[in-house]
Chain A
């Protein structure tokens, strides 16, 4: 099996990058990844990515949080099992407030865990093949091809308006 080559193309504009992605998807070459300085709706539409699953982590966190907060309030109340002024020891309404705050707190923890695991952060390896301009004004497209096709892929990205300025073995 021939070795794969990675070609990095840098595009000045969002539209040029979007066109290149669309053309690349129709070609025999494989699109590896795209780098953008901000979340681009055009590019995400061109990539046709699936909906993020971060929300499931958030939801799980929220459910665990509500149960934790409510259970904590109930547990601590029954440790002091004294009825004061005829009020119930396990008071549902005030404990809902504690449950609510814990829901938000744990949902946010779930959200952060979801973001870190799904986006695979922290991750420092990609920086080896990366152009610092991608966090500024450039859009980067990394495509892969067989070893013998490298020049064709470079020409393709150049023709689409990109600067081909980095390679990866």
Chain B
């Protein structure tokens, strides 16, 4: 990055905020249609009843809960990149931190919607909140589902505040290069930030504390999500390995989504000089690491099922590999554990098409991982006469499509209205030199 100047950084990033072109509008329109499909399906379910979904006894947790876990997982890499790698002083995360944090905020919002959708009677959602009420009912704080309400709400608030705090200096940069209404809006949004040395003194300290607090939070959030399952006595769920297994899987999927978003972003907005192949390669190396942990967890689950001597547990895991959902199981194994191993080859992890392609496979694999865990376990638990299969209905698929559409729709709006790369952090990395930034 030695040939880049501060002005280059500002000019390139601010150019992304210019009036959008026709392809942008076309893409936004397509995504908005997807959002409308999802919304239409949800409204249909609200009016007709939750029975329009495919979930039924014994599989009462269907696609909605898969989507919930999937999107919470996607949210995790944003915090890994912005908080954990910040604490480790890994300079290569600077160009991608902003977009990853934004991805986190949107993904948590979408994840948070799915318990609402799954509830059916969404207008009763306030029952989950602890407040004095005429029914004399309080949420049961011994339940992992209530831990989840607390953890996900905390994660949404913390990641949004973390994102906004990091964004403040860049909002000031946009304000200083704007005119008219945009200037007025950014003047308010930037809270009058001037880069005063006193502001920086407190900002750097607060940002460090944010990172230090977000790090245990991110680990706790997906641990809590895993306990939604692990605290149930269902075979395939009741395992102490679930918390680290889920956290590693979450980061695995999140990093893949970072690649999926970053590769088109760097091409469209000409960020190639900032989001270099070295940066993408580092993400790929981290994916190899998380992929190996996830693969280890898959193997260990089989070992524990065998070693426990529990016939129900053994049958569950036998059936996963050869039963009715074996295709989904093998998609999971191949996409999450085997395909990422291709990143061991330097040529592949430095090739942008390969990086993009593998990231898509990991995204698919991680969605299917949640399918295998959530559906596979309850479909085939203790008593053979209670076994049953599940397939998502068109309404559930419509809502799934809607969730992906709303995620990309929000991200596209963000990329056109706010700096998608942190100019401040890039300048800092530039100053520290190319070796640090890499």
**1/0 per position for B163-175, CB-CB distance to A under 8 A?**
0010001001101
A135, B195: Cβ atoms closer than 8 Å: yes
B-facing residues in A67-123 (Cβ within 8 Å): 69, 72-73, 76-77, 79-80, 87, 91, 94-95, 97-98, 100-102, 104-105, 107-108, 111-112, 114-115, 118-123
Asked if B51 is at the interface (CB within 8 A of a chain A CB), the reply is no
A80, B138: Cβ atoms closer than 8 Å: yes
Give the segment of A124-132, A148-156, A160-168 that binds chain B: A124-132
**1/0 per position for B187-207, CB-CB distance to A under 8 A?**
110011111111111111110
A75, chain B: closest CB distance, angstroms: 8
Asked if A43 is at the interface (CB within 8 A of a chain B CB), the reply is yes
B165, A137: Cβ atoms closer than 8 Å: no
* A77 contact set on B, CB distance < 8 A: 138, 140-142
* B327 contact set on A, CB distance < 8 A: none
Residue of A nearest to B426 (CB): A38
A119, B198: Cβ atoms closer than 8 Å: yes
B191, chain A: closest CB distance, angstroms: 4
Question: Given A76-B141, A77-B141, A137-B5, does the pair A107, B201 have CB atoms closer than 8 Å?
Answer: no
State which of A49, A76, A137 has its C-beta within 8 Å of the C-beta of B138: A76
Alpha-carbon gap, A136 to B12, bound state (A): 12
**1/0 per position for B1-24, CB-CB distance to A under 8 A?**
000011100100000000000000
**Which has the most chain A C-beta neighbours within 10 Å: B5, B141, B193, B213?**
B141
B213, A79: Cβ atoms closer than 8 Å: no
A120, chain B: closest CB distance, angstroms: 7
**1/0 per position for B142-163, CB-CB distance to A under 8 A?**
1000110011001001100110
Asked if B428 is at the interface (CB within 8 A of a chain A CB), the reply is yes
State which of B138, B139, B199, B224 has its C-beta within 8 Å of the C-beta of A97: B224
B150, A136: Cβ atoms closer than 8 Å: no
B194, A112: Cβ atoms closer than 8 Å: no
* B417 contact set on A, CB distance < 8 A: none
B-facing residues in A20-60 (Cβ within 8 Å): 33-40, 43-44, 47, 49, 51-52, 54-55, 58
- Decide if the interface of chain B is mainly helix, strand, loop or mixed: helix
Asked if B177 is at the interface (CB within 8 A of a chain A CB), the reply is yes
A64, chain B: closest CB distance, angstroms: 14
* B193 contact set on A, CB distance < 8 A: 121, 135
A33, chain B: closest CB distance, angstroms: 5
Alpha-carbon gap, A58 to B209, bound state (A): 8
B7, A79: Cβ atoms closer than 8 Å: no
* A49 contact set on B, CB distance < 8 A: 197-198, 201
Asked if B82 is at the interface (CB within 8 A of a chain A CB), the reply is no
Alpha-carbon gap, A49 to B200, bound state (A): 11
Asked if B304 is at the interface (CB within 8 A of a chain A CB), the reply is no
> What are 24 residue pairs bridging A and B, where the CB atoms are less than 8 Å apart in the complex?
A37-B6, A37-B173, A37-B427, A44-B200, A52-B202, A52-B205, A54-B206, A54-B209, A73-B141, A76-B138, A87-B142, A94-B141, A98-B141, A104-B154, A104-B213, A105-B158, A107-B213, A108-B210, A112-B161, A115-B202, A121-B193, A132-B176, A134-B194, A135-B175
Top 7 nearest A-B pairs (CB, nearest first) are A132-B176, A76-B138, A137-B6, A122-B191, A52-B205, A73-B141, A115-B206
- Mark B residues whose CB is within 8 Å of A: 5-7, 10, 130, 136, 138-142, 146-147, 150-151, 154, 157-158, 161-162, 165, 169, 172-173, 175-177, 187-188, 191-206, 209-210, 213, 216-217, 220, 224, 424-425, 427-428, 431
